Structure 1
Amino acid sequence: MTAIDARDFRLTKSVKPRRYAISLQLDLDSWKSTGREQIDLDVDQPTREIVLHSDELDISAARLDSGLAMSGVTYEPESQTATLRFGQEISAGSHVLEIEWSGPIREALRGLYRSTHGGVRYAATQFEATDARRAFPCFDEPEFKARFALELIHDASLVPIANEGIASSEPMSGGKVRTRFNETPPISTYLVAFTVGPYESTAPATTATGLEVRVWLPNGLASQGTYARDAHVRSVQWLENYTGIPYPYGKLDGIGLPDFEAGAMENPGAITYRTTLVAADPATAATAAYKRIYSVVSHELTHMWWGDLVTMAWWNDLWLNESFASHVGEKCTDALNPEWGYRRDIVSQATSAFNLDQLVSTHPISMEVRNADQASERFDAITYQKGMAVLRMIESFIGEKEFQDGVHIYLTRHAEGNATADDFWRALDESSHRDVSRIANAWIKEPGHPLVRLSATSDGQGGLTVDLTQSRFFADPAVAPTEQRWLVPLVLKYGTASGMREERALLEGDRSSIHLPAAQWVYPNAGGRGFYRYALDDGALGILASHARELDPEERLMLIDNQWALTRAGKASLSQLLALIGGLRGERDREVLSAIADPLSWLSTHAVSDALRARFGKLVEEIYQPVLNELGWEVRSTDAMEEKEKRALVLSMLGRTAAVPAVREEARRRIMTHLDGSKPLDPDIASALAGSAAANGDQGLYEQYVSRMKQMADGDPQEEARFRNALVAFEDQALVRKTAEACFSDMIRTQDRGLLLFALLGSRHGRRTVWPIVREHWDTGVATLDRGGKHRIINALGQLTPRDLEAEATTWLREKESPDSAETTAQTLERLRLGADAAERLSRELPDALAHAEA
């Protein structure tokens, strides 16, 4: 078997597990584990060997039916399997396989791994996609669902938590305890979870059906988990109503882990999170933190039904797990917090999907996954945000009730089993009486998305005839057109003398025409619900721009985002973009102001020369200073969430992008009174001011930030994160170097390394200083990270747009490419080239574009 064949190996279906009884002894002093398990098996045909997954575990013994001992074991590192050989034939039928092994509690944040907080040790797990095999030998593919009866032997001083509640606790010698947990319903191995550590929990809260809900956090933080606990309670009740199915598991705990690479993980009954996603002190947590907590909690709870109760058969349908949890989780967040206007946040999430899907190196939403490395690369914006956008588009097309009815059919039909995307489409076909399968498959099995071109002409009777054509949208203007065509469910919004109207149409071929009676102007993506780019002819775009304020906020923000995409791809001029932004002077909606900030921030970093920086800063100031003048610096108790978040955005744009001296000076004054305790900052502006003050900050201020970060490390995750993240805003080159080096030291947790380096490499002041430091530490500080952290840093290199840095990074990435990052590397190489091209082109266009904007 070749190495490639081994990596692509799949287990035989002739040996299937029904139940695991696992006993693990966790020694946190030596960071070692020892285990034994009994696996109830169904064997379909006689065999002399059993193959299962095992990665870096030392299997010392195995027996079948308490008698037949294995004659030997062979490990295959590429396929991460162990082959247990037996001296006589194993008959078809039911058997019990007993295995004993030992293994490490690893430093990398995957499998069974180690963690510390406040000098105290923890052990925790993260098994998705394929890392249960690093904790115990198992059939580590999602279709092998089984029941799990777990026991942990651990120090009596530590709190054990797992998927199900504690059945018994038995004291042992040497200060140990044997904790047995209730047996789980059938679940896949990637959903098994357990942890031990000095945790404390919130007081339980109870749902209307009697389910107790707790949030567990490291000692001293439990009081900060109340908001997240209540978000769990409200969300699970909403989801029970939405699905029509009671919560499927015996308990519900949220667990804040001190070290955790992923944001959160949907382990049934034991959802794991980064501490910042479940711990919020009202004195220091910003409004944005509460929104993020609610969004992530709702997403993970949606998985209890979609992913856990009904599980994909194989990783090629991972997208449906994550897309659905994103779509319905955000519906839940929006429904439970109507005062937030959260629909705008949902629409804006499509941007990250568009940015990846516009590349030649993108991938279809649904595609073949052959091995563990490919499965790990599926956790991207296509799987989450594009899939979510396609589901929103389908729901908008067939109706919310029909979509919900299809969800219920799918979940009840496949409960406790495995299913595919085709099973879901069939359920929607049934509920809507439409051919959803045809539309959906046209979107999920093709890479990319369409560019719909619209040309509007007068019909001679006061209306418009709109001619439509479609082709694939590429960010690279040099790519040749493809023959790809989509079934595009269009919803056009248009203005008449008597008000707004909408027209629905399904664009099926290359071109079509739509008549809009009495239309004066047309907007091609009503509600921002369609996942397509659009280009209006110059006349139609100019008329639309003059009516932009009549659009809903979701439509205005997507109008900006769409025009920015066309501009970067060379399909529209920078003058057109700045004219559109200029027409929105006086804009007051938070999300639209944020959409405007995206191109302005990118241009400031990558295209604005030193000679033009003052003029460009003035443009930014003219947009955002009037908003600050209206809001003021002080956060008022009567402020709605909209005002709080808007103030933070405006202060950041004025202090960082526009570099307004008065804003930076006032930010520093206020930060100093916060740090000395004389006047703590309102949490909603604290991060913005910390970044603005840091921009001109010196060594003394830097050391105060580091001190504050360390002081809060064990007691306030939100405040710690605030000052840790602000370190990247210091522009003094010695301090930039200091932060970059800290990323590879104990000062910065491994889980945060990629986040800080991404910000530094994407900054004008950081990229030239930080890039050599990243190269220096690559082999020991990047290549050794778990896949998620490694991919984040590879992606960060795509921001090195100066031509000399682009050339260096391109050579470097090609030399360092590995099988577990091949796709991420290809995408980064393409981004590098396109970013450098766009930076040069837009830098040339900027003088004239600014002159037109200033006129």
Structure 2
Amino acid sequence: MEPDLDAATFRGTVSIDAEVSDPVSLIELNSAELEIDSVVARSDVWGERPAQVTFQPEFERATLHVETPLEAGGWSIDIEFSGILNDRLRGFYRSTYVDPEGVDQVIATTQFESTDARRAFPCWDEPDFKATFGVTLVVDDGLAAISNGAEVRRSERDDGKVVVEFAPTMKMSTYLVAFVVGRLEATAPVMVSGVPLRVVHLPGKGRYASFALEAGAFALDYLAGYYGIPYPAGKLDLVGIPDFAWGAMENLGCVTFRETALLVDPAEATQSELQRVADVIAHEIAHMWFGDLVTMKWWNGIWLNEAFATFMELKTVDAFRPEWNRWVSFAAEGGVGSSSMDIDSLEATRPIEFPVESPDDADAMFDALTYGKGAAVLRMLEQFLGEEKFRTGVSDYLQWFTHGNAETKDLWKALEQATGVPVAEMMDTWIFQGGVPIVEVAPGGPGAVLTQDHFRYLGSGEGQWTVPVLARSIDDPEITPVTLHGAAELPYDTPIVNAGGHGFYRVRYDKEIEGRIHDRLDQLLPLERYALIADSWGLTLGGRRRASDHVRLLGLFRSETEPLLWEPIAGSLATLSGIATDAVRPAFAGVVRDLVGDAVLGSGWEVGRSESDLERRLRGTLLRTMGVVGDDESTIERARATFEAVVRGDVVDPDVASASLTITAAHGLEAEYHRFWEEYERSESPQDQVRYLRAMATVPGDALAAATMDRIIAGEIRNQDSFWLIAVMVGNRKSGDAAWDLVTSRWDELVAVIPPQNLRRVLDSIPARSKPDVADRIRSFLEAHPIPGGELYVGQQLERLDVRVRLRQAEQELPGIV
């Protein structure tokens, strides 16, 4: 591959070793947005056969026609081609930055998953067409060249170009091939069991790499030990790219990242920002086995890759930083709560695994259900089977299918062999049907009776699950496993259903049982208390519980000591605040101040000497809730002063600094908006850049939303950040309606700017626009402007919007909460 960074083009050759089983005159492979200059098939026995090429662009295919059929035997198919380094963040594309000397620089890099290797070179671009790949890059002198394998040879051509050859890869799928060319720097390698690990970054950003090296080295060692299989490549580079559509990509030996997911200064980052870096690094390294070494046969099985990598990311980070309570934060951040379970409570949900027929279908699989629900279901299964037996089954599965492809049933078979439990019978009810069950708990039998129903926010469903329930008495920590098909009995008067809190199902207790549990919250584990909050909020959204009852439940948590549980408390309060009318909201803000005020006073603004990371994170959550949702004047005033201190360069705890910025933005005006833009432009830290962009979108004001939209369309803001920034503006309580009108009026311009794989994410916040007339406008627009590959997500977001509209209309009682 020979990229021309100045011209934004590339030329290349691919030589494919193929075994012809029967004589053939037509060969079909994948090719998109490429010019094919010549094709020659070569055989040591039969000589050379030139081929003509025809294209089927609608199917992203090219057909090679040879006049004389190729005889059975070994052939090399040699293709010369050229293409464009696009700006759509897929295939072989260009990323830009300004170096420390103020010079514009270009990087050529790749993003092939799901089906974009075909945009870089002709190939069979399907996951079960595995091959080994030998990459050679031809680059200008002075540029870094990185690929999957280690560099094995370097030479100079007569024209001064440098030819860099890399070691062949293991047998793998096309979507895992990678190459990066540009002015980049690398850290010194850290050796992990003989594997060199580096962080590759833009010039001048080496000071942000140390945490990634620490987290990466831990993950590499931990995961090899967990799987019982050595790391399957010769080296591992973690490469930060300034323009990147996703969080990261698990290319074997050459993992590419959005900078915010790799580069961080621990002294300046919040706990959440550090955790995200550790999470993403662990996730991508987990893929080196689950995804790269063993790959799904087809894209319908992508959950095998992504859900398991998410599950292993959580286990790895929980071992890396036990004090972060990663399984609790997984639930609190939406793993079994507000994200995947929220979507699974819709009629428009989907099974974790469902048919994939087109590239758009494959892209649509990368959602909260594949990642969040898939990981939560695996955690539920692991806890039910036992951690060590589960690990044995996973290791067996990987060894059985090393360098090959597998399906869901293959994982179940390995787990069944390791445990003796009929896993497939149980788990097929979770993988091949969408939705989530609710377990009803009522007095009966020797103590309590469990039944199940299909939980939906709107309407009813007919799903039935084999539910691996873990239960216990509130008086006893010993857990009883129960496989719930229809109904089951428990010998406890006051049972804790979903004991441990890892089950992916909702629970509704009879009022008498629920009252006894509420009287003894101190007898529950943190995740069990979280489940009470999350289930109450789910019932509220589903119209089965009044908002006033939910807020009264939250009042029982005024003295909650688990920092992470304040996040679902804050989240539901923010949603209720968002649906409150202007007349009611000041009184509801008083409810919020009353509910969180004691906790805010206890936490304060100053960091104690022996505080944990999570206590610092809690302080940020509480201050943000008090200042933004509670509209507390003293908090707002202190936040503004703290923001000024941060800008002056004073040392401020990162969680306090982040909360202060959000509060200042939420109550800001045009002057603050312009200051945030100035700070964004001069920021070097990836985390600071995101904070200031988010702050700009948080400042209310119709004209300010229009100014931000202008910057996005003009390219002043990287297109990787365009979709989420628009979503923040649409979610703004005061100016979100106007922001949505901007989206509709400038839709064609946005489609031209936003990477196509990210376009549907513009809709992330439309459930916040719950005024009935605005909701009707949103629905009409989306019906008239379909998003390719986004049909399912659009349906889900519109249904989530309907849920919020109903909540707004039903909760005219908000004054009653006050």
Per the normalisation by structure 2, the TM-score is 0.96
Q: What residue is the counterpart of 2:136 in the other structure?
A: 151
Maintained 8 Å contact 1:252/1:269: yes
Correspondent of 1:533 among 503, 506, 511: 506
Structure 1 window deviating more from structure 2 (260-269 vs 811-820): it is: 811-820
2:736 is the counterpart of 1:764: no
2:342 is the counterpart of 1:360: no
Q: What residue is the counterpart of 1:467 in the other structure?
A: 449
Q: 2 CA distance for matches of 1:58 and 1:802? A: 50
Q: Partner amino acid for 2:311? A: H
Q: What residue is the counterpart of 1:774 in the other structure?
A: 743
**Which deviations, in whole Å up to 9, do the C-alpha atoms of 1:139-190 show, x marking residues without a partner?**
0000011011111111212111111111112223454211111111111000
Q: Partner amino acid for 2:471? A: L
2:169 is the counterpart of 1:184: yes
Q: 1 CA distance for matches of 2:403 and 2:372? A: 26
Q: 2 CA distance for matches of 1:215 and 1:666? A: 39
Maintained 8 Å contact 1:697/1:732: no
Counting only pairs closer than 5 Å after superposition, residues 653-802 of structure 1 correspond to structure 2 as: 653-677=625-649, 679-712=650-683, 715-782=684-751, 785-802=754-771
Deviation of 1:739 (Å):
2.5
**Which deviations, in whole Å up to 9, do the C-alpha atoms of 1:473-532 show, x marking residues without a partner?**
1111xx2442x2111111123223xx44433211112x233222xx4x222211111111
Deviation of 1:558 (Å):
1.8
Q: What residue is the counterpart of 2:60 in the other structure?
A: 80
2:615 is the counterpart of 1:633: no
**Which deviations, in whole Å up to 9, do the C-alpha atoms of 1:624-674 show, x marking residues without a partner?**
222222222122443211211011111111111111111111111121122
2:93 is the counterpart of 1:113: yes
Correspondent of 1:377 among 357, 361, 364: 364
Q: 2 CA distance for matches of 1:559 and 1:635? A: 30
**Which deviations, in whole Å up to 9, do the C-alpha atoms of 1:800-847 show, x marking residues without a partner?**
2111111111111111114422212222222222221222212x1322
**Which deviations, in whole Å up to 9, do the C-alpha atoms of 1:293-352 show, x marking residues without a partner?**
111111111111110001111111101111111112211110121122222113332221
Q: 1 CA distance for matches of 2:389 and 2:267? A: 44
Deviation of 1:725 (Å):
1.5
2:795 is the counterpart of 1:846: no
Q: 2 CA distance for matches of 1:572 and 1:798? A: 20
Correspondent of 1:277 among 249, 261, 265: 261
Correspondent of 2:398 among 404, 411, 422: 411
2:533 is the counterpart of 1:565: no
Deviation of 1:77 (Å):
1.6
Q: What residue is the counterpart of 1:193 in the other structure?
A: 178
Maintained 8 Å contact 1:450/1:533: yes
Q: 2 CA distance for matches of 1:260 and 1:532? A: 35
Correspondent of 1:91 among 59, 65, 71: 71
**Which deviations, in whole Å up to 9, do the C-alpha atoms of 1:530-574 show, x marking residues without a partner?**
111121122222222222232111111121111101111111221
Q: What residue is the counterpart of 2:38 in the other structure?
A: 61
Give the direction of change, closer, same or farther, for the CA distance of 1:822–1:387 in structure 2 (3 Å limit). same
Q: Partner amino acid for 2:704? A: L
Q: Partner amino acid for 1:837? A: R
Q: 2 CA distance for matches of 1:493 and 1:572? A: 25
Correspondent of 2:326 among 342, 358, 361: 342
SS at match of 2:616: helix
Counting only pairs closer than 5 Å after superposition, residues 96-495 of structure 1 correspond to structure 2 as: 96-118=76-98, 119-207=104-192, 209-348=193-332, 349-351=335-337, 352-457=339-444, 465-476=447-458, 479-482=459-462, 484-495=463-474
Structure 1 window deviating more from structure 2 (810-819 vs 76-85): it is: 810-819
Q: 2 CA distance for matches of 1:130 and 1:343? A: 33
Correspondent of 1:611 among 538, 562, 583: 583
Q: 2 CA distance for matches of 1:40 and 1:71? A: 16
> Structure 1: any 5+ residue segments left out of the alignment?
1-23
**Which deviations, in whole Å up to 9, do the C-alpha atoms of 1:218-259 show, x marking residues without a partner?**
110012111101111111101111111111101011001101
Q: 1 CA distance for matches of 2:225 and 2:760? A: 38
Maintained 8 Å contact 1:736/1:766: yes
Deviation of 1:701 (Å):
2.4
Q: 2 CA distance for matches of 1:379 and 1:200? A: 31
Deviation of 1:69 (Å):
4.4
Q: What residue is the counterpart of 1:550 in the other structure?
A: 523
Q: What residue is the counterpart of 1:575 in the other structure?
A: 548
2:797 is the counterpart of 1:824: no
**Which deviations, in whole Å up to 9, do the C-alpha atoms of 1:345-393 show, x marking residues without a partner?**
1333222110111111111111111121101000011111111111111
Maintained 8 Å contact 1:492/1:522: yes
2:779 is the counterpart of 1:810: yes
Q: 2 CA distance for matches of 1:356 and 1:69? A: 54
Q: Partner amino acid for 2:782? A: L
Structure 1 window deviating more from structure 2 (832-841 vs 433-442): it is: 832-841
Maintained 8 Å contact 2:454/2:460: no
Q: 2 CA distance for matches of 1:282 and 1:526? A: 35
Maintained 8 Å contact 2:558/2:599: no
Q: What residue is the counterpart of 2:620 in the other structure?
A: 648
Q: 2 CA distance for matches of 1:676 and 1:340? A: 31
Structure 1 window deviating more from structure 2 (521-530 vs 177-186): it is: 521-530
Q: 1 CA distance for matches of 2:654 and 2:474? A: 41
Q: Partner amino acid for 1:270? A: C
Aligned residues: 807
**Which deviations, in whole Å up to 9, do the C-alpha atoms of 1:584-608 show, x marking residues without a partner?**
1122321111110111011111x21
Per the normalisation by structure 1, the TM-score is 0.92
Q: Partner amino acid for 2:106? A: R
Q: 1 CA distance for matches of 2:479 and 2:266? A: 43
Q: What residue is the counterpart of 2:491 in the other structure?
A: 515
**Which deviations, in whole Å up to 9, do the C-alpha atoms of 1:755-782 show, x marking residues without a partner?**
1111111121121121121112211213
Root-mean-square deviation over aligned CA pairs: 1.6
Q: 2 CA distance for matches of 1:71 and 1:337? A: 57
Maintained 8 Å contact 1:115/1:123: yes
Q: 2 CA distance for matches of 1:706 and 1:603? A: 30
Q: Partner amino acid for 1:224? A: Y
> Structure 2: any 5+ residue segments left out of the alignment?
99-103
Correspondent of 2:497 among 524, 527, 530: 524
Give the direction of change, closer, same or farther, for the CA distance of 1:488–1:283 in structure 2 (3 Å limit). closer
2:563 is the counterpart of 1:590: yes
